[in-house]
């Protein structure tokens, strides 16, 4: 009812919170080795299409440094590839109360990520989905990984199907269509004058946040595809909006 009446604040209060999210059977994986990335790539190719999302240190895509990439080709299952987290963000603890259990993770060199993932992103036969994917296209192209084969932008689809809506960010759209409250970015980087950048976010929390973004994008794509067809918006979406992106 709240969703239908666009009572967004009440919907947010009524929607399941973090406790409900923890009860889901989510398979969010941190990719640190070439073998793990190869497994993810096999899954993407088998699916034929996938959601992609980037994490960066700036909202300006022409200035942003690529910090990580998340990928999803199935509901509840996603991968996060850290590319440029700070050393302290790569430190994990077996026991948070025991500093001697500290261990520093070793991600793949960015050059190897580019060599393995770049051809997948550039393959036009594999459909790519994103939420405001133009941002990701610019960031990835600047990182030497141009993307071809865009088939869905869930932010644009949200606007086309509900142009009177004021906000179309991933959190709002996920709440509206999936009844899902997503992790706020402020949980990872803080806010206001004390806010930091994503490369300082602990990599385990960054993995959960980034994988959720890709997962929600994948789920929303499955919502918007039939909705665009039902409202006879497919020609506008495919022939105008996607080429404009």
Q: Are 207 and 28 in contact (CB under 8 A)?
A: yes
Binning pLDDT at 50, 70 and 90, where does residue 18 land?
A: low
pLDDT digits (tens, 9 = 90+) for 75-118: 999 999 999 999 999 988 777 767 677 788 999 999 999 999 99
Query: Which H or E element spans position 116?
Result: helix 110-122
Q: Residue 14's pLDDT is what? A: 76
The 10s digit of each residue's pLDDT in 42-59 is 999 999 999 999 999 999
- Can you tell me the distance from the alpha carbon of 147 to that of 215, in angstroms, rounded to the nearest whole number? 19
Q: What is the pTM of this model?
A: 0.91
The average pLDDT across 148-170 equals 95
Q: What is the mean pLDDT of residues 202-213?
A: 96
User: What single string gives the DSSP state of each residue in 54-73?
Assistant: EEES-S-TTTPPEEEEEEEE
| 20 confidence band (pLDDT: 50, 70, 90) | low
């Amino acid at each position: 009812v709240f969703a239908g009446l666009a009572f967004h604040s009440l919907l947010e209060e009524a929607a399941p919170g973090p406790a409900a999210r923890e009860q889901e059977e989510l398979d969010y994986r941190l990719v640190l080795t070439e073998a793990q990335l190869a497994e993810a790539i096999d899954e993407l190719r088998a699916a034929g299409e996938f959601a992609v999302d980037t994490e960066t240190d700036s909202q300006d895509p022409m200035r942003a440094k690529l910090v990580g990439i998340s990928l999803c080709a199935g509901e509840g299952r996603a991968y996060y590839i850290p590319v440029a987290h700070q050393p302290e963000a790569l430190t994990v603890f077996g026991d948070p109360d025991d500093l001697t259990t500290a261990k520093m993770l070793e991600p793949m060199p960015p050059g190897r990520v580019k060599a393995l993932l770049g051809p997948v992103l550039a393959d036009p036969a594999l459909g790519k989905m994103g939420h405001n994917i133009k941002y990701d296209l610019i960031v990835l192209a600047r990182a030497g990984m141009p993307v071809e084969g865009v088939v869905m932008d869930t932010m644009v689809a949200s606007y086309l199907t509900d142009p009177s809506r004021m906000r179309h960010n991933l959190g709002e759209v996920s709440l509206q269509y999936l009844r899902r409250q997503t992790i706020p970015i402020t949980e990872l980087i803080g806010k206001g004058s004390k806010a930091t950048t994503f490369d300082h976010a602990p990599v385990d929390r960054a993995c959960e946040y980034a994988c959720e973004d890709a997962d929600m994008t994948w789920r929303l794509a499955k919502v918007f595809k039939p909705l665009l067809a039902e409202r006879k918006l497919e020609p506008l979406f495919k022939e105008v909006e996607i080429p404009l992106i």
